[in-house]
Chains A and B, each alone.
Chain A
């Protein structure tokens, strides 16, 4: 059974600092997704990573995928308060668009 683990589960950062969220998964998959969720809101798609070595960047966020290590990272550069949210990674769980989600990382950026 596919399992997805994120760490840390909670991250409190100062504005301007860098940090990385890690997403490990237990079985082979070539598709990994990152989503953002604001309190009381739905999920917003950030990145889809489709192959080994894939790297995507949007603003202060950069995601990468290492399928051999079954690891994805979401790197935050020079954090700002607007990045405060919960970030989920999700792995393609097989036929029929099933996504298996990590527990989420609650990010709080303090000014």
Chain B
């Protein structure tokens, strides 16, 4: 089975812009979670989608949003980018229950 894929892998944006990141889960997986990884804050949960519904959300401002499509692919959007949004954004998929989450390679975002 193909693993979790994320696009793009690298991205450079400037403050104030917005960005959309994409995640394709492992075939058959219906849950997609998003995490932000920074040297200062570590790995932090952003949100999780299952069957196109957001089931849980972390403590991030409303500038961070996401959605999931009927084929389980997910996108996250960050509007009005700030310097502090520079991070590795990881998505993870699982079948749907509390099983192991499998992580994609990540999108490294640099905000200048």
Q: Tell me the minimal C-beta distance from B43 to chain A in angstroms.
A: 4
Q: Could you give, for residues 24-66 of chain B, a 1 whenever the CB lies within 8 Å of some chain A CB and a 0 otherwise? A: 0000000101010000001111001010001110100000000
CA distance A92 to B33 in the complex (A): 13
CB <8 Å contact, B42 and A97: no
Given contacts A31-B98, A92-B98, contact A97 B55 (CB under 8 A): yes
CA distance A58 to B7 in the complex (A): 32
User: Is A107 located at the chain interface by the 8 A CB criterion?
Assistant: no
Q: Tell me the minimal C-beta distance from B91 to chain A in angstroms.
A: 10
Q: Tell me the minimal C-beta distance from A106 to chain B in angstroms.
A: 12
Given contacts A92-B98, A95-B55, contact A100 B45 (CB under 8 A): yes
Given contacts A42-B104, A42-B105, contact A95 B56 (CB under 8 A): yes
SS of B interface (majority) = strand
CB <8 Å contact, B102 and A96: no
CA distance A44 to B90 in the complex (A): 12
CB <8 Å contact, A99 and B101: yes
Which one of A93, A97, A102 contacts B94 once the chains associate, using CB atoms below 8 Å? A97
Q: Which residue of A lies closest to B104 (CB)?
A: A42
Q: Tell me the minimal C-beta distance from B28 to chain A in angstroms.
A: 15
Which one of B44, B90, B98 contacts A97 once the chains associate, using CB atoms below 8 Å? B98
Q: How large is the interface on A (under 10, 10 to 19, 20 to 34, 35 or more residues)?
A: 20 to 34
CA distance A47 to B31 in the complex (A): 19
Given contacts A41-B105, A94-B56, contact A99 B33 (CB under 8 A): yes
Instruction: Please list the 4 inter-chain residue pairs (A to B) with the smallest Cβ-Cβ separation, ordered nearest first.
Output: A96-B56, A96-B55, A101-B43, A43-B103
Known: A33-B100, A43-B92, A99-B33. 13 other contacts (CB 8 A): A35-B103, A43-B103, A45-B101, A48-B99, A93-B56, A95-B56, A96-B48, A96-B50, A96-B56, A98-B48, A98-B58, A99-B45, A99-B101
- Show the binding face of A for B, using Cβ within 8 Å: 31, 33, 35, 41-45, 48, 88, 90, 92-104
